[in-house]
């Protein structure tokens, strides 16, 4: 028999589960009100600047309405209605048996990865991403998810957040972006280190046109009003 101190006790499992829940809550819930000073992706990116993110933070109400609309139209058109996962897109990606990580990942999943994790496609990382996605959806509003996403996502090599992206690519603040410029920024999100919004390739430009059409199809401001109360 194992020594008494090494025997498995069910209470240990309860303690472990309680610790996991507590850590998950502490990692996610405060960011509903506190702007993250940086992200895991920025810390791992040698091209990112040293200035903390909070110095460049832009509230959602100080962005042109076409900015969040373009990102939602491009990346996650079911964003207002899902709880962190687009199961239809996931099933389609699995059925097609090809790389559709961006198409199957929601904005919340992308945000969880950018804030807390590292690049990669291992099942272990995806499992942690899914767990944190649930906690973000439980503790944040949809409006807050959009705001944080737009302030931390990468729009070019070392260019993080909509303020830096607007200034770097178009020399203006986010509240002055046109629909075309917002669509170009959203168009590079699948691969911001290789695509440019300021000097778009023919592929990026065509993708931006598709995003503009999607904005019109979704209803623009009326659609966005279902997210931003």
Domain annotation covers residue 106: yes
Domain annotation covers residue 176: yes
pLDDT of 52: 59
Domain tally, the chain: 1
Tell me the pLDDT tens digit for each residue of 61-112.
999 999 999 999 999 999 988 888 877 776 676 666 554 444 578 999 999 9
Tell me the pLDDT tens digit for each residue of 161-211.
999 999 999 999 999 999 999 999 999 999 999 999 999 999 999 999 999
The pLDDT of 144-171, averaged and rounded, is: 95
Distance between CA atoms of 211 and 71, rounded to whole angstroms? 8
Domain annotation covers residue 182: yes
| CA-to-CA dists, residue 3 to 7, 8, 16, angstroms | 7, 10, 21
Domain annotation covers residue 4: no
pLDDT of 7: 62
Domain annotation covers residue 113: yes
155 pLDDT band, cuts 50/70/90, is very high
Distance between CA atoms of 68 and 224, rounded to whole angstroms? 8
Domain annotation covers residue 3: no
Domain annotation covers residue 5: no
Host domain of residue 62: 10-225
Which of residues 133 and 89 earns the better pLDDT score?
133
Domain annotation covers residue 174: yes
Here the CATH number for the domain that contains residue 136 is 1.10.3810.10
């Amino acid at each position: 028999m194992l020594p008494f101190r090494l025997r498995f006790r069910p209470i240990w499992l309860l303690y472990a589960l309680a610790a996991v829940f507590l850590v998950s809550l502490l990692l996610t819930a405060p960011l509903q009100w506190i702007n993250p000073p940086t992200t895991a992706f920025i810390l791992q990116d040698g091209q990112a600047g040293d200035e903390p993110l909070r110095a460049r933070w832009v509230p959602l109400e100080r962005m042109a309405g076409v900015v969040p609309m373009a990102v939602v139209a491009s990346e996650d058109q079911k964003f207002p209605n899902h709880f962190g996962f687009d199961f239809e897109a996931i099933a389609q990606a699995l059925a097609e048996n090809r790389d559709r990580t961006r198409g199957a990942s929601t904005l919340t999943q992308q945000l969880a990865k950018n804030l807390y994790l590292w690049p990669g496609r291992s099942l272990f990382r995806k499992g942690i991403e899914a767990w944190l996605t649930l906690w973000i959806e439980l503790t944040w509003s949809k409006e807050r998810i959009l705001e944080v996403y737009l302030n931390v996502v990468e729009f070019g090599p070392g260019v993080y957040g909509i303020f830096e992206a607007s200034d770097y690519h178009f020399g203006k603040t986010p509240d002055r972006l046109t629909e075309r410029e917002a669509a170009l920024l959203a168009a590079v999100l699948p691969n911001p280190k290789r695509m440019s919004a300021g000097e778009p390739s023919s592929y990026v430009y065509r993708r931006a046109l598709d995003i503009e059409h999607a904005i019109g199809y979704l209803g623009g401001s009326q659609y966005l009003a279902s997210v931003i109360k």
